[in-house]
Amino acid sequence: MRRWLIVLLVALGSFGAGGLHAGEAQPLAEDEVTEKRLVAISTELRCLVCQNESLSGSHAELANDLRREIRTLIKDGRSDAEIMEFMVSRYGDFVRYRPPLKGTTLLLWFGPGVLFVGGLAALVLYLRRRDRAISDTPLTADEQRQADTLLQDTDSRQGLS
């Protein structure tokens, strides 16, 4: 609880300071290329502590550790794919903001599209059926006469006003 309070206070403090006090807790590495790759990789990764934050934006302790770990891996000359594999093998597909396409994620990837197409098809089907139902029943002679009188009635009333 106290730790969260501190995080909150730090966050509020950095707002107040208006950019004087940047959020990044880790000292910037001297190497700019490493830093750019670190940001690129860590924005693709989820911080497991505050699950809706990316690893690059998180102030959580674990996020700091993992950023340091990724920095070390970059300096060891590992490729982006290898670093991603390092993270996934420890924390699972959940750390990736873009989950891989496989059996268990099919619904995740295609579910919304299937729902949309299904909904669209249902709508078209419904509209067509309604259209047919309306045009398929012409008025009987009796109804036609009734309609005519009603129309005439409104016409004459409109003429009065």
Partner 1 sequence: MNRFLWPLIGFVVLVALLAVGLNLNPRDVPSPLVGKPAPDFALPQLAAPEQTFSPKDMLGKVWLLNVWASWCVSCRQEHPVLVELAKRQTVPLIGLNYKEVRGDGAIDIDKVAAGAEKPLVIERAAAWLAKHGNPYALSALDIDGRVGIDYGVYGVPETYVIDRAGIIRMKHTGPITPEVYSGKILPLLAELSK
Site residues (vs partner 1, CB under 8 A): 1-3, 6, 48-49, 51, 61-62, 65-66, 69, 88-94
Provide, rounded to whole angstroms, the least separation between the CB of residue 118 and partner 1. Answer: 13
**Alpha-carbon distance 78 to 95, whole Å?**
19
Q: How far is CA 23 from CA 7, 48, 78, 130, in A?
A: 11, 19, 27, 59
CB atoms within 10 A of CB 68: 13
Considering the complex, what minimum distance in angstroms separates the CB of residue 21 from partner 1? Answer: 16
Is the alpha carbon torsion for 29, 32, 38, 40 positive or negative? positive
Shortest spacing between CB 48 and partner 1, in angstroms:
4
Judged by beta carbon, residue 61 or residue 143, the one nearer partner 1 is 61
The count of other CB atoms within 10 Å of the CB of residue 73 is 19
On whether the CB atoms of residues 84 and 55 are closer than 8 A, the answer is no
- State the nearest-atom distance from the C-beta of 79 to partner 1, in Å: 19
Shorter beta-carbon distance to partner 1: residue 32 or 76: 76
Which residue lies nearer to partner 1 by CB, 39 or 49? 49
Nearer to partner 1, 69 or 80 (CB): 69
Instruction: Tell me the H-state helices in the chain.
Output: 2-16, 32-43, 61-75, 80-91, 106-135, 141-160
Radius of gyration, CA atoms only, the chain: 32
- Decide whether 1 or 141 has the Cβ nearer to partner 1: 1
Min dist CB 122 to partner 1, Å, is 10
